[in-house]
Amino acid sequence: MFNALIRKLDCSGFLTEVDRVTLQKVTSRRREVAPKRDLILEGDRPEYVQVVLSGFACRYKLLRGGQRHIMALLVPGDFCDLHVAILGQMDHAIATLTTCTTVEVSRSTIEDLTDNHPRITRALWWATLIDEGILREWLANMGQRPADRQIAHLFCELHVRLLSVGLAGPSGFSMPLRQVDLADMLGLTPVHVNRSLQELRAAGLLTLQRRWLEVLDVDRLRTFCDFKTNYLHLTPRVDGLKT
């Protein structure tokens, strides 16, 4: 059966066939969650670590004014809260954006993996470091680029990340996120996201209809928003496209 987690960790290059089998066993207890449901709340001390196997989720914080800021997008294969094992308490919440399938892995299973499966441990460590790299890129994106390029950059990133788990074609992918979600990720208003999307369409860079994002010219879009893939630390084969 298809398993985005294995597919993703495999990108690290650390896994062997045995490891893949081990991971397969661990990810068998699945759960279906409706859109816009909280998976974990800020302050929680969960007993289980969750992994997204299908759908999109996000890390977010609610600030005093009631504004939501989304600090990370979780796509199939991503861990939700591996770090809680060490830090103890969640400093942010996680919610589904679309319908999601998740797996719960007990803390003891994680401990078993880290004790007895050094390559898997290394792959997990690798995955969290990539998440950190993405956070840094988002920071630079928000801080330095105008809205339309921010959005373009986010799409470029998403495209590559989905490619690496086999969920995107060479020039398009399913985009079930709402404009509000994009707005909350980039610190913009939905209205302005809407207008910027129109500019991107008008510039002939992409189309977005019926929840499908089609990139008309990948190179041109990447140049437009100054997108480089290095922060995703892809193995050459996954890059999907030249450069």
Partner DNA sequence: CGCCTCTTTGAACATGGTCAAATAACGTGG
Partner DNA sequence: CCACGTTATTTGACCATGTTCAAAGAGGCG
Which residues contact DNA (rule: CB under 7 A)?
146-148, 178-180, 187-192, 194-198, 210-211
Name which of 42 and 199 has its Cβ closer to a second copy.
Answer: 42
Give, as ranges, the residues between 48 and 77 that touch a second copy (CB under 8 A). Answer: 59, 61, 63-65, 67, 69, 71-72
* Minimum distance of a second copy from residue 34's CB (angstroms): 25
* Minimum distance of a second copy from residue 181's CB (angstroms): 13
* Minimum distance of a second copy from residue 31's CB (angstroms): 25
The closest alpha carbon to 105, from 122, 120, 126, 95, belongs to 120
Residue 132, interface with a second copy (CB under 8 A)?
yes
- Distance in angstroms (rounded) separating the CA atoms of residues 163 and 211: 17
User: Which letter, b or e, does each residue of 159-177 get, where b requires 16 or more Cβ atoms within 10 Å of its Cβ?
Assistant: bbbbbbbebbeebbbebeb
Give, as ranges, the residues between 89 and 118 that touch a second copy (CB under 8 A). Answer: 89, 91-92
Evaluate whether 94 touches 36 at the Cβ level (below 8 Å): no
- The CA-based dihedral angle spanning residues 126, 127, 128, 131, taken in that order and rounded to the nearest 10 degrees: 120
Name which of 84 and 167 has its Cβ closer to a second copy.
Answer: 84
Number of residues that bind a second copy (CB under 8 A): 44
Give which of DNA, a second copy, none residue 64 binds (C-beta under 5 to 8 Å, depending on kind).
a second copy
Q: Among 142, 180, 208, 216, which residue interacts with a second copy (rule: CB under 8 A)?
A: 142
Residue 161, interface with a second copy (CB under 8 A)?
no
Cα separation values, 135 from 2, 101, 177, 221, Å:
28, 24, 19, 21
Q: Among 176, 190, 231, 239, which residue interacts with a second copy (rule: CB under 8 A)?
A: 231
Specify the 3-state DSSP secondary structure of 11: coil
Specify the 3-state DSSP secondary structure of 24: helix
Strand partners, 49: 105
Q: Among 34, 129, 191, 241, which residue interacts with a second copy (rule: CB under 8 A)?
A: 129
Stretch that binds a second copy, among 32-40, 173-181, 199-207, 228-236 (CB under 8 A): 228-236
Give which of DNA, a second copy, none residue 102 binds (C-beta under 5 to 8 Å, depending on kind).
none
Evaluate whether 177 touches 56 at the Cβ level (below 8 Å): yes
- The CA-based dihedral angle spanning residues 52, 54, 55, 57, taken in that order and rounded to the nearest 10 degrees: 0
* Minimum distance of DNA from residue 227's CB (angstroms): 17
H and E: helices and strands count for the chain: 9, 10
Residues lying near a second copy in the complex (CB under 8 A) = 42-43, 59, 61, 63-65, 67, 69, 71-72, 83, 86-89, 91-92, 122, 125-126, 128-133, 135-140, 142-145, 184, 186-187, 226, 230-231, 233
